[in-house]
Amino acid sequence: MKRLFLAFCAFVSIPQLAIANNAGVTSSADPRVTEAGMEMLRQGGSAADAAMAMMLALTVVEPQSSGIGGGGFLLYQDNSKGILSTINGRETAPAAAAPDRFIGPDGKPLGFLAAFQGGRSVGVPGNIALMAEAHKKWGKLSWPKLFKPAIRLSEKGFVVNKTLESRLQLIARLWPSFDEARSIYWANGKPATAGMTIKNPKLAATLKHIARRGPDAFYKGAIAQQIVGAVTGSKVAPGDMTMTDLAEYRAKEQQAVCAPYRAYVVCGMGPPSSGATTVLQILGTLQRFDLEASGKDSAKSWHLIGQAMQLAYADREKYLGDNDFVDVPVAGLLNPEYIAQRSALIDPDKARIDYPAGNPPGAGPRTAAISSEVAGTTHFTAVDAKGNIANMTSTIEGPFGSQLVAGGFFLNNELTDFTFAPEKDGAPVANRVMGGKRPLSSMSPTIVFDREGRAVLALGSAGGKRIIMHVTKTLIGAIDFGLTLDQAIALPNIYFGGGQLEVEENSFLAAMEGELAKYGQTVRSVDLGSKVNGAQLTADGWTGASDPRSEGTSAAIDAKGNVTIKMPRSSAEAPTEDVG
């Protein structure tokens, strides 16, 4: 167990977990996707098989959030070998991409509305390459079987839910410039509404082709030509992606980032994800405070969480990026002495007036710069009968990505996750655009191990930069406040902006607004929707959990094949805030 307490660890070895008292669990933001994963488990598939079938099904029913036109990060706990692995399927910038990609004719950074639409914002998609690596390493079912649920949903059609309806309404004013998107998701000249059935035969044909020919069929040949054609032929901001960019894309297995918190070890993705590093910084700076004693109903607990959050995000903006291109001081950021220094900046009785970035060991000169990252994305979790865990966050960035469609699927706008201004104060920023580089991400798939080395929690969320806080809040709820995963997910969300502390409206934190403000920082109640999904090991085995703010579900199958479905929501009402 000693190796788990390293801040930066490769292929973490842990003791084998006893087989759970059920034959598998799946959790996702859409019941049809939860069922797609369960279908794989019923056939004897592994957690990896289930998760990859879920990723494909999300391409169909949650096109606004993720899919094969985007990328993701996967944590995989191979229980039989006791090894935690991670796969980086983050999109890359085309080779021709230059640092001034999002600089306008006036020499200033473009506004987000101008930047995200069209081919300029599209990165080389990584999800199929990630899927291929996961299947090769941990798959049990044949490659074509993983595509069956998604193909069925594309061919026979799926019913539009309230969430998709709301996203279509949100984006409708842009789509006169995007004929292909309109042809699939509009009916009678208007965006499709809840209850309508959508069929996507072009996507079905694409999925069938990849199922027959394997992952190379996505990155070479006809599908790759469709992607390049959509990007370079866009009516809006045509891009410069080439067939070579696609053919040379590789998903890569890389080191997990882990650190202790209380009696647990928390693990997540390394750069270009800022998720694990920032989550672990927040937790580390809170370690000296007794949150269990103060409890979830105490304003002091949330004051401390808010202070730790703002300090960690300051380091995120300054130091995090793609470590193939910039030196990211992960070990320094999680160094216990440095964490203690950062924690000492927190006054338990008073909010700070500023939240400066620090100087972690091993960090070179760097300028801080804010990156754009809108609230999108999706997360899903699968646990199989042998206790293997596949925990993946996937995205095409903003709602419907770049708005461009190729082969029936949306292409991402992931390049807008780069910092638009390549320099600040005369020095290059860590997250500047460069050819072949992967943009900084807040995706935070997380697995937690107990003192015996057993995996006990797996979770992640949607929500742009807020993903980090949705995950952190949930971890604190489970570890410090002693809540079940369902209860921890349901805790109010917290974030910050414009020098203010933001708390979720219509929650007990909103009712506590005045009490929190007494610590000296302006507090405002805002819509902080989230979309957390995950699973938890209990005395009765693994159980799934999903966010009551979403339409997500979880399901468990026992040894006799009986499936139990958990639905935290009492209605199919869409979340009001755009979390993808």
Q: How confident is the model at residue 560 (pLDDT cuts 50, 70, 90)?
A: confident
Complete DSSP assignment for 296-351: TT-HHHHHHHHHHHHHHHHHHHHH-S-TTTS---HHHHT-HHHHHHHHTT-BTTB-
In the predicted model, what is the mean pLDDT of residues 79-89?
A: 93
What's the pLDDT at 271?
97
Beta-ladder partners of 563: 557
* Alpha-carbon gap, residue 290 to 292, rounded angstroms: 5
Nearest to 29 by CA among 403, 545, 576: 545
Query: Of all residues in the chain, what percent are helix, strand and coil, respectively (each to 5)?
Result: 35, 20, 45
Give 72: exposed, middle or buried? Use CB within 10 Å, 0-12, 13-18, 19+.
buried
b (16+ CB within 10 A) / e for 295-334: ebeebbbbbbbbbbbbbbbbbbbbbbbbbbbbebbbebbb
Question: Based on C-alpha coordinates, what's the Rg of the chain?
Answer: 22
Question: Which of these ranges, 13-22, 127-136, 218-227, 417-426, has the smallest mean pLDDT?
Answer: 13-22
* Alpha-carbon gap, residue 236 to 223, rounded angstroms: 21
DSSP state of 367: B
207: its two tokens? 């999925």
What's the pLDDT at 68?
98
pLDDT of residue 577 exceeding 80, the answer is: no
Give 561: exposed, middle or buried? Use CB within 10 Å, 0-12, 13-18, 19+.
exposed
% of the chain with per-residue pLDDT over 70: 93
What's the pLDDT at 33?
98
Nearest to 259 by CA among 4, 532, 490, 542: 4
For residue 393, give every residue at least 6 positions away whose Cβ sits within 8 Å of its Cβ, in sequence order, or none.
72, 73, 377, 378, 379, 443, 444, 445, 460, 461, 462, 467
In the predicted model, what is the mean pLDDT of residues 448-473?
A: 96
Q: How far is CA 532 from the centre of its chain?
A: 10
Complete DSSP assignment for 74-141: EEEEETTTTEEEEEEE--B--TT--TTTTB-TTSSBPPHHHHHSSGGGPPBP-HHHHHHHHHHHH--S
For residue 71, give every residue at least 6 positions away whose Cβ sits within 8 Å of its Cβ, in sequence order, or none.
89, 90, 91, 123, 125, 126, 127, 130, 394, 395, 412, 414
pLDDT of residue 66 exceeding 60, the answer is: yes
On average, the pLDDT of the chain sits at 92
Complete DSSP assignment for 196-244: -EE--HHHHHHHHHHHHH-THHHHSSHHHHHHHHHHHT-SSS-----HH
Q: How many residues does the chain have?
A: 580
In the predicted model, what is the mean pLDDT of residues 257-261?
A: 97
pLDDT tens digit sequence for 94-149: 999 999 999 999 999 999 999 999 999 999 999 999 999 999 999 999 999 999 99
343: its two tokens? 């924690």
Alpha carbon distances (Å) from 67 to 38, 64, 237, 281, 370: 19, 9, 22, 30, 26
What's the pLDDT at 578?
46
Pairing relation of β-strands 500-504 and 523-526?
Answer: parallel
What's the pLDDT at 374?
58
442: its two tokens? 């807040």
Between 575 and 387, the more confident residue is 387
Angle between helices 201-213 and 148-156 (to 10 degrees): 160
In the predicted model, what is the mean pLDDT of residues 404-411?
A: 98
Beta-ladder partners of 449: 265, 455
For residue 484, give every residue at least 6 positions away whose Cβ sits within 8 Å of its Cβ, in sequence order, or none.
478, 536, 538, 545
Q: How confident is the model at residue 174 (pLDDT cuts 50, 70, 90)?
A: very high
Question: Which of these ranges, 5-9, 250-254, 314-318, 456-460, has the smallest mean pLDDT?
Answer: 5-9
168: its two tokens? 């279509």
pLDDT tens digit sequence for 176-211: 999 999 999 999 999 999 999 999 999 999 999 999
Question: Which of these ranges, 67-81, 136-150, 420-434, has the smallest mean pLDDT?
Answer: 420-434
Cα dihedral 145, 543, 264, 349 in deg (nearest 10): 120
Annotated catalytic residues are 377
Nearest to 80 by CA among 381, 386, 384, 382: 386
- Cα torsion 509, 510, 513, 514: sign: negative
What's the pLDDT at 373?
58
b (16+ CB within 10 A) / e for 74-113: bbbbbbeeeebbbbbbbbbbbeebebebbbeeeeebbebe
What's the pLDDT at 77?
97
Q: Count helices and strands (H / E) in the chain.
A: 20, 27
pLDDT of residue 351 exceeding 80, the answer is: yes
pLDDT of residue 11 exceeding 80, the answer is: no
Tokens 């506590």: give the residue: 512
pLDDT tens digit sequence for 473-505: 999 999 999 999 999 999 999 999 999 999 999
Alpha carbon distances (Å) from 295 to 280, 381, 423: 20, 28, 43
What's the pLDDT at 364?
80
In the predicted model, what is the mean pLDDT of residues 59-69?
A: 97
What's the pLDDT at 575?
44
